[in-house]
Every structure is written in structure tokens, then in C-alpha cells.
Amino acid sequence: MELNKLTIKEARQKLDKGEISSFDLTKICLDRIKKIDDKVKACITICEKEALEEAKKADEKIKKGEKSDLLGIPYIAKDNILTKGVKTTAASKFLENYIAPYDATIIKKLKNEGAVLLAKSNLDEFAHGASTENSCHRPTHNPWDLERVPGGSSGGSAAAVAADMCIFSLGTDTGGSIRCPAGFCGVVGLKPSYGLASRFGLISMTSSTDVPGPITKTVEDAEIVMGVIMGKDENDATTVEFKNEEKTKNNIKDFKIGIPSEYFDEKVDKKVIDLVKKAIGELEKKGAKVVEISLPHTKYTVPTYYIITPSEISSNLARFDGIRYGVRQGEGDDLENVYLASRGKGFGEEVKRRIMLGTYTLSAGYRDAYYLQAQKVRTKIKEELDFELEKVDCLITPTSPHTAFKIGEQADDPILMYLEDILVSGPSLAGLPAISIPCGEIDGLPVGMQIIGSRLNEKILFNIGNIFQNITDWHIKRPNI
């Protein structure tokens, strides 16, 4: 077996037994990147030299008998996560040559653990998008069909795992950006509960929903990575300590699964619905109880998300003024011209659209009508989800309304692109954990199912996800590339 195809768990066993070295594993992943990334275009920066050095250090530690879950395991990080000394562009011209002066907390934790950073991956500029086409570099291609998008905005990270360029990757999810590309690329993507993993050192998009998380080959691996990156961080006041006090269930017969009817209606491709229902049927056959529920506020999630998100974006991106960060234009002119020229040149079209929308929804005359109203609806969406999740252990839905679409097919229609988030934005607005797991294929393209849990109850998602992966083999399938 080619080593780059290993899961974290498999690689760990082989490393600990001395059957392979981290150096070889890292080298093979780097070779794989070199071989196929011309086609997939998942990586922006490759840290070959640093990675090989880190791998050697990891091998020494392993030889000395040191043990930790990710010691010597090569991974890729989305390029909106700061990595000290390595370029972090957020796929924006504004940060084309920006070298991060410090590591994000999650990168620091992975470093302490001995994980090996291979590369930084492509995304939609500042994570604004659902297809990885809004990158200042180039679009990423889906390894299952190179004419199609990998989903977004963590499209590079998902494509890299699907194409076995790394053992796992990191993404960020604000309104679906880990789950949607994981679904389109046939891999596992976890959006943790808001606050479970630190946002310190992520380039902010929507501070009230941003959260980093793992993209992996199996649910087991997602749990391993989460175990390392989660936890309270003094640099992020919204982080919480994880207490596993919830009594978790392991026996499928004890699980009660809720099926929200609004996630299975005409918005969603009939074939996707059939596959996800079939997957739920597999769990039911093993003894899970399945009940239909209703979440009538679902229709408001995308409109609410697209008021709150641009509002926070317009505020967060105000720091990019050409003075403190990134490209500066209009030097020598007056200050306002420097701002205008720098922001005019540095930001792409979608980013500008969101800044304009957000400036409007926060403006003196419209704030109450838009932003405050959206916050009230958000509370309703959250209450409704929390209420249903008291009655069931988890909800299962499709991740996306269809399989990966063609590159360019939706690029000129922002509203159509926003509707990609229709099944994933609810858990983001409510701060709930949700995982996308491959559950089938339509015409050779993967389909993901989303499992949503109550706040800080990721364990339920891992348990039911593991059970599903034990009885099916969708997670083992890989694209032919």
C-alpha cells in the first residue's frame, strides 16, 4: 500500500512499530503533491524543506520512545490559518506576500504534538465562498472529476485529503466551509461546536461562527485531531474547556435520530435524498430509532447567515487598509486615497460585495431592520435546533443539495452560490457541532451526509459516525487520480 493513503490511525501504528519512518511518510506525501497538484491545484505554498526537517525530528523522538497521537504525521493547513515564518495569503492579493509572525493556537498545538506541516492549501479569498473559485491564485479542482469544483471554502484541504496528498488537513468552517468540500470530495469533515477550538491566529471572517476543524479519511481520525486542537485558549475568550460529562452512547440500539423534513424537500436533488435515506436506513437496520421532526425556521437560515456574515466581515476586514497589512497602493497620496487604492486593488469581487452588503446592513438607518432583525431570527433558529436536539441524539441530513458542480457553472450567480449553504448554515448560526461523512456516490461523484449534535456533544457524532463506517465502506473509496 502506498503510505500516503494511510489513515492517521494506521500511520500511527506503523510509526510506533518502526515499520515506517515519518521522513519516508512525509517524502511520499510531498512526492504525491508534486505529481498531481498541477492538476488538482490544492496547495498554495509547499514547505518541503521544513517538513522534512520536522519529520527527522519526529523520527528521533519516536526512536526515543516518545508517544503522542500525531507525532510524525504529515498534514496540510488551510491558508487562512497563521503559520509562523510560512506565507499565509488567505488566497487574497492583499496578503500575497504576507509571512505570519506567529502560529495560530491550533498550529502551535500540532507542532507541540510533533505533526508535520507539508503545505498551505487553497481556499476562497478570506473563506468567502462554496467552491474555491474565489481564490486570487486559481481554482482548485475536484480529484473525482477535474472539471468540477471541490466545494469550498476549504476546497484545497478537502481535495488534498481525497487525493491522498496528506494524512489529514485543517479547514475552517463559518457556514459550511469544512462540511461542504468534505461532502463534494468524499472525505470526513468536522465543524466542531463554536468555541471548542481556538480561533486565535485564524484570519477572521465571521467571528461569531468561525471555527477550525479537521478534514480526514475516517471519523476515528477526526476524533484524534480534535483531541489535539481543542481546548481553552487564553488568547480566545470564546473558547471553552471540553468536559466529557455527557453520558455518551455506544450502542446503536440506544440512538434516536431526528430527520428534519425541511432538509429533504424539493431544494435537494432526489438522488441525494435517496442515498442519505438509504444510509439512515442502514443505521435503522442496526437498531437505531428514527423519527421525523420539523425545523420550520430552516428557510430563514441562508438569508439570516448572509446578513450576519457580511456585517461581521465588513467590520473584520476594516483592518486591511494598506497601512498595517499587505499590498499598499497610492503611496504618497492622501490617506483616503491609500485606503481606496489599496482596498480597490487588494480585494476580489466577492469580498467587495460582502463588505458593501455588510456596511449597508450595519449602517445607521438600516441596522435595526437588517442586522438586529437577523440576530433575532438567529436566536429562533438556535432555539428550534436546541429544542429538537433535547428529544433526539442527533439529526441526520444531506450535506449539500447536490453533488459537485462544474467549475464556472455558478460563478456568475452569487445567490445560487449562497444557496449551496442551505443545509449547513443552521448549525453554524446555532454554534452546534456537525460532521459530514461520505455516504454514497452519484455518477462517480461522492455524496455526504451531515450529522448534527447538541452543543459540545461531538462524542455522539463520533460514535454514530464510527458505527456507520463500520457497516459501510464509502469512506474507503478514493478517486482515480
As annotated, the active-site residues are 78, 153, 177
**Smallest separation (angstroms) from ligand GLN to the CB of 159:** 16
Chosen residue from 89, 92, 157, 177 binding ligand GLN by CB under 6 A: 177
Chosen residue from 93, 108, 128, 199 binding ligand GLN by CB under 6 A: 128
Chosen residue from 72, 129, 195, 479 binding ligand GLN by CB under 6 A: 129
460 part of the interface to ligand GLN, by CB under 6 A = no
**Smallest separation (angstroms) from ligand GLN to the CB of 65:** 41
Alpha carbons 340 and 343: distance in angstroms, whole number: 5
Nearest C-alpha neighbor of 140 from the set 349, 345, 326, 404: 404
What angle in degrees, to the nearest 10, is found between the helix axes of 48-63 and 22-40? 150
Chosen residue from 72, 155, 176, 186 binding ligand GLN by CB under 6 A: 176
**Smallest separation (angstroms) from ligand GLN to the CB of 178:** 7
Chosen residue from 140, 174, 361, 403 binding ligand GLN by CB under 6 A: 174
| Complete DSSP assignment for 152-218 | SSSHHHHHHHHTTSSSEEEEEESSSTTHHHHHHHTSEEEEPPTTSB--TTB--S-TTT-EEEEEESS
Reading the block at residue 257, the C-alpha cell is 435520530
Chosen residue from 88, 105, 153, 469 binding ligand GLN by CB under 6 A: 153
Q: Which is nearer to ligand GLN, 293 or 419 (CB)?
A: 419
Element (H, E) at 385: helix 373-391
Are 184 and 441 contacting, i.e. CB atoms less than 8 angstroms apart?
Answer: no
- The SS3 assignment for 420 reads helix
Alpha carbons 387 and 378: distance in angstroms, whole number: 14
Q: Which is nearer to ligand GLN, 393 or 420 (CB)?
A: 420
Burial class of 328 by CB neighbour count within 10 A (0 to 12, 13 to 18, 19+):
middle
Query: Binding segment for ligand GLN among 96-104, 174-182, 248-256, 328-336 (CB under 6 A)?
Result: 174-182
Nearest C-alpha neighbor of 193 from the set 229, 167, 218: 229
Which residue is nearest to ligand GLN, using beta carbons?
177
454 part of the interface to ligand GLN, by CB under 6 A = no
Q: Which is nearer to ligand GLN, 156 or 175 (CB)?
A: 175
309 part of the interface to ligand GLN, by CB under 6 A = yes
| Complete DSSP assignment for 120-169 | EE--SGGG--SSS-S-SS----BTTBTTB---SSSHHHHHHHHTTSSSEE
User: Residue 81 pairs with which residues in a beta bridge?
Assistant: 202
Report how many helices (DSSP H) and strands (DSSP E) the chain contains, helices first. Answer: 15, 11
**Smallest separation (angstroms) from ligand GLN to the CB of 176:** 5
- The SS3 assignment for 233 reads strand
Query: Binding segment for ligand GLN among 127-135, 155-163, 255-263, 291-299 (CB under 6 A)?
Result: 127-135
Query: Binding segment for ligand GLN among 43-51, 122-130, 263-271, 376-384 (CB under 6 A)?
Result: 122-130
175 part of the interface to ligand GLN, by CB under 6 A = yes
Nearest C-alpha neighbor of 179 from the set 211, 152, 202: 152
| Strands across the sheet containing 211-216 | 43-46, 116-121, 74-78, 168-173, 211-216, 188-191, 434-442, 445-452, 394-398, 256-260, 289-293
Q: Which is nearer to ligand GLN, 177 or 342 (CB)?
A: 177
**Smallest separation (angstroms) from ligand GLN to the CB of 184:** 12
**Smallest separation (angstroms) from ligand GLN to the CB of 392:** 25
173 part of the interface to ligand GLN, by CB under 6 A = yes
Chosen residue from 33, 188, 205, 449 binding ligand GLN by CB under 6 A: 205
**Smallest separation (angstroms) from ligand GLN to the CB of 38:** 26
Q: Which is nearer to ligand GLN, 143 or 155 (CB)?
A: 155
- Contacts to ligand GLN from residues 374-433, by CB under 6 A: 420-421
**Residues that bind ligand GLN in the complex, under the rule CB under 6 A:** 127-130, 153, 173-177, 205, 309, 420-421
